[in-house]
Amino acid sequence: MLPPLPPDPYLSLRGERILLEPLQIEHFDTLIALGQDPRIWEHFPDSRADVLSHWHHLEEALALREARAHHPYVIRLLNDHRIAGYTRLHSWDTTHRRVETGSWLHPDFWRTGINVESKWLLLRHCFEELQLLRVQFRTSPHNVRSRRALEKLGATFEGILRNDRLMPDGRPRDSALYSIIADEWPQVREHLLARMRRHLMPGPAPTPISAAAAGIF
C-alpha cells in the first residue's frame, strides 16, 4: 500500500554528516545571514541577498508547508551544528507521484560533498519511503556549476523550458530541466553512496564562516 500523500513535512532526514531539519522561524536569521553572499543568487529568478525579500520567501515557505504543498529544510552539519544552506521539496503532484526539489548552499560548503548527501537523503525519502515515480530539478541553462552537479548526481537532462522564469530585473529566463525516475534510483543510489564514502575519508575541512552566520548560538 502506498503511503498517504502529501507526506508529513515535519520529518527530519538524518545522514552521516548532515541533518535535513524542517524549517522553523528560528532559522530565518541564520539563513538570511548566509544568503548575503551574492554568488548564491547569480542565476536564481529571485534575489534573496535582499534581507526583506529573503524573509518573505521563508515566511511563504512556512505557509506553503501548512498547506502541505512545500517541504522546506535547513541543511545542518552534525559535527558542529552549523547550518550550511537550505533545500526543499515542492510542486507536489500526488496523482502522478512526482515532485520537484531545489536548494542552495553557502559557497564555503560548495565541493564538500554536502550537496551530494543532501540530495541522497531527499531522493531516498522520495523513492523508498514515499514511493514517488519522478523527482525533477530545474536550473538556469547558464548555471554551469549547477548543471554539472546535477549530471554528476545521475540526473537526466530533458530539455530547455523557454521563458520559464522571470529574473529580478524582469528579463525572462529559460530553465534546463533534469529528472531522476524510480527505475533509475537503485543505480543512482549506489553511485551517490560511493561519492559520499569518498567525502567521509579524512581531508581538509571547509573554510570556516562566522559562528553567528552558521547558526551556532
- Nine-digit cell at 104? 542552495
For residues 112 and 109, what is the distance between their CA atoms, to the nearest angstrom?
A: 6
| Torsion sign (Cα): 205, 206, 212, 215 | negative
For residues 217 and 211, what is the distance between their CA atoms, to the nearest angstrom?
A: 7
For residues 107 and 147, what is the distance between their CA atoms, to the nearest angstrom?
A: 16
**Beta pairing, strands 134-139 & 98-105:** parallel
What pTM was computed for the model?
Answer: 0.87
| pLDDT in single tens digits along all 217 residues of the chain | 444 455 788 899 999 999 999 999 999 999 999 999 989 988 887 767 688 889 999 999 999 999 888 999 999 999 999 999 999 999 999 899 999 999 999 999 999 999 999 999 999 999 999 999 999 999 999 999 999 999 999 999 999 999 999 887 888 999 999 999 999 999 999 999 999 998 875 544 444 443 334 443 2
Write the class of the CATH domain 13-200. alpha beta
Domain limits of the chain? 13-200
How many helices (DSSP H) and strands (DSSP E) are in the chain? Answer: 5, 8
> What count of other Cβ atoms lies within 10 Å of the Cβ of residue 15?
17
**Beta pairing, strands 83-93 & 134-139:** unpaired
